[in-house]
Chain A
Amino acid sequence: MEAKAATPVMMRGEGLGSAPGENPTFAGRIELPYTLTTGRAASVFLAELANHKLVGSRCEKCGDVAVPAQDFCAACGETTAADFEVAPTGALTGFTATPAGVLAMIRLDGADCDLVHKVLDAELADLEVGTRVAARWAASPAGSMLDVEGFEVSDAAAAGEWPQPFEATADVEPVLEQSYDLRLDYDHAFGPYYGTLFDGIATSRRIQGVRCPRCTCVLVPPREYCDACFVRTEEWVDVADTGTIKAFSVIHMEFVGQVREPPYVYAEIVLDGSATRLIHSIGGIDVEEAKERLHTGMKVRAVWKDAEPTGSLEDIDYFEPVFD
């Protein structure tokens, strides 16, 4: 997991009330690896692209032919299989220009639904609904939808009768799995509450919360409303960088996206002057020793990093236990 703070040059809470888009944002990134399972019908469709076949499925109940082949009929829910082949030619039913080129809905000859794909070497002006196209096959098939590189404008009429019963090519293994990397970049708005908190941390190692006028508790991180009383918080309050351990555990496991290298002590800490939980780590103690010597209710204090502040919880290196 990578979470990069925005440049601390500009203050996060500064200029509030101006256009929201002008305030700095927090850049959060989530990068997740997947190995997806394609399912019975799609696995055959993907495999047969290498043989220049477009495999669909025909619903026995309603007779519709879907392509790519589906496990279930969209119209009636009936179980279907990769059992019919449609033509590599068809006609456009709709299209649009995108920065990545022209994308179109294509009704392949023999199919009863549209396939979304690229139209290659074409300008919008060349196209109209009904324009005939033909598949251009990729030179090196990889078991993906892009084994059809795209469709090109072609006057070719459908050769033969479509759809045709499909017979699997000998020795073709279905493509049961596909790797997929999901990368999501976010620009989170700090807003006035987080903005003020992280400005204070960046400039003066100052941790600020807000007080609820009804229950009088101090909430960190600060927020507009008290969660429990649901009244607007009004008063800003400085809290200490010392506190007590509410709970802790020792992390040994490794996992994809982990920021800290195990083993380390995970801790939920209540900062002095506040009534909420701060998630951080406890350091300055051997982890095996921590299992014996740490306990809930024990005092801890923040150890700040010497590095240039980033205006985030990472500016605190860890909390160290204060032994009596």
Chain B
Amino acid sequence: MRDVAIVGTGQTVHARRRKDVSQAGLVREAVDGALADAEMTLDDIDSIVVASGPALFGAVNQPEKWLVDGLGGHMKPVVRITSGGGTGLAGALAAMNQVSSGFADKVLVVAYDKLSEGALQYQISTLYDPFWGREFAVGIMGFASAYWKARIETLGHTEEAAALVSVKNHKNAFRNPYSHVRKEVTVEDVLNSRPLAWPIKLLDVPPISDGACAVILAGDDVVPQVSAKPAWIRGMSYYGEADNAANRFMLQSVPLQLAAQRVYKKAGITNPRRQFDVAELQEPYTNFELSYYEGLGLCRTGEAAALIESGATEMEGDIPCNPSGGCMGANPIGATALIRLAEAALQVTDKAGERQVPGARTALVQAGGGWANLRGVAVVGADKN
């Protein structure tokens, strides 16, 4: 099995609505960015993985068929991967396996969603079983807020602690040129913002965005020819669990812990708080970031509020989380997990500009989809394992 590195990344200008491009045009913008970054052309690409959210987001079924044209996929392997908010990471995993197995030397993974085109909460609600619960569904917001409330009661993940996540990520997003939400908020702003699905309030929620991200992966024997500054994928995994299995544990995502365990073992991570220089976490709502601190072992169970309050996850802290601003700056759902991976690659190759964590060499990436039942983790480093 070959080691795999990220040798190019690109992102679109994310926006609440990109009226100037079609879905295909949006995707191509990210691809052109990644190709330019890697100093490649479409001719250099052996295989393409398209990743996007549920097809109902875009009203184009089997969108990879459409995107073959815009991606130079004519007569090349093209597959699509989808997995909710974790779509981008699941797509990267598929691409990584194509490279590590020797199926392809250079794989383009492109992830996108153009969420401005339809009615998002309704679309997400159709993910529910039509017989059982869809009539009560509020996207995943009803679910997410309910279990946050349970974690407030049992783990002390308070509204104030979640507000600190919002403040931090908004502040970091301000430094990220790809963000389309650029405003600083205070804890009071968050606590006083309009309740959407209490305890979730407006400023606990990322924006709805149009955007795409593209990443080019290459095998270790090809890397020296194509990149002077690769970001090595030191481990990547993606786990699932049955949505409504008996006695499902809801206070922590078990698949997240399984994925982390596996990836940490591969990358030799025994003390995540100390060994990671930076983390990019895909937080669909602020409260999830608190939960991920615990699930990823950045702190012990029940200590997430104390961790954010200590400032450790701020830019200046010992484990900066979401220097990009996370989803708060932009949240094109299908792309958002790949954006986290791309941002981690920028960090460990010292290309993150104003949001650079000085000297970062090892980065943690987390993403997930579904009702907290699909979870992925990756470790990206300046060095190989």
Contact = CB atoms under 8 A, between A and B. Distances in A.
Contacts, number: 208
A307 interface: no
Nearest to A256: B119
Which secondary structure dominates chain B's binding surface? mixed
Given A227-B242, A228-B245, A38 B22 contact: yes
The A contact surface, by secondary structure, is mixed
A268 B20 contact: no
Contact of B246 (A36, A188, A276): A276
A98 interface: no
Contacts of A188: 130-131
Nearest to B45: A77
Most buried by B among A79, A219, A258, A280: A258
Contacts of A35: 116-118
B141 A32 contact: no
A321 to B, nearest CB: 15
How many of chain B's residues touch chain A, expressed as a range? 35 or more
B291 to A, nearest CB: 13
A120 to B, nearest CB: 28
A42 to B, nearest CB: 7
Q: How large is the interface on A (under 10, 10 to 19, 20 to 34, 35 or more residues)?
A: 35 or more
A217 B246 contact: yes
B130 A26 contact: yes
Given A249-B198, A277-B248, A296-B153, A74 B142 contact: no
B122 A256 contact: yes
Interface in A4-60: 26, 28, 30, 32-40, 42
Interface stretch (B144-152, B163-171, B352-360): B144-152
B146 to A, nearest CB: 4
A227 B245 contact: yes
B103 interface: no
A266 B197 contact: yes
B60 to A, nearest CB: 8
B74 A77 contact: yes
Interface string A56-74: 0000000000000011111
Contact of B69 (A73, A198, A257): A73
A39 B119 contact: no
A214 to B, nearest CB: 10
A247 interface: yes
A10 to B, nearest CB: 17
Contacts of B133: 278-280, 313
A268 B194 CA distance: 23
Interface in A283-318: 291, 295-296, 312-314
Contacts of A246: 146, 150, 250
A314 B133 CA distance: 10
B350 to A, nearest CB: 31
B175 interface: no
A-B pairs, top 7 by smallest CB distance, nearest first, are A77-B72, A39-B22, A257-B122, A227-B242, A217-B246, A279-B133, A247-B146
Given A37-B116, A221-B244, 11 more contacts: A39-B22, A71-B24, A72-B70, A248-B149, A249-B149, A249-B199, A251-B197, A252-B196, A253-B141, A266-B145, A313-B136
10 contacts: A1-B134, A33-B118, A37-B22, A76-B74, A180-B59, A221-B132, A252-B198, A253-B141, A266-B145, A276-B245
